[in-house]
Amino acid sequence: MKYLIVLALLAYLYFTWRKQRRPGAGGGKAAPGANPASDAGQAPQEMVRCDHCGLHLPRNESLTDGRGHVFCSSQHRDQGGA
């Protein structure tokens, strides 16, 4: 019975080691216990750049003025593009 525990521990360490060796190299089937929201389950976000400070942020978190400029915050929108 002791060997079963040791074997399970070794298998756990082996899979952890394999996951750390190849980050992001998903081969299609997710490992059990993997975080589904890490990369595969999330749609890629379009990144936009603040016209005032140059910060990159997802489009759905950005603010735009009436002229198509993109800003990271209402403060930067009020200050306008640099």
Count of residues binding Zn ion (CB under 5 A)?
A: 6
Does 52 sit near Zn ion (CB under 5 A)? yes
H or E element that contains 3? helix 2-21
Q: Judged by CB, which is closer to Zn ion: 34, or 53?
A: 53
Stretch that binds Zn ion, among 5-13, 20-28, 42-50, 62-70 (CB under 5 A): 42-50
Does 48 sit near Zn ion (CB under 5 A)? no
Percent helix, strand, coil in the chain (nearest 5)? Answer: 35, 10, 50
Separation CA 67–CA 82 (nearest Å): 15
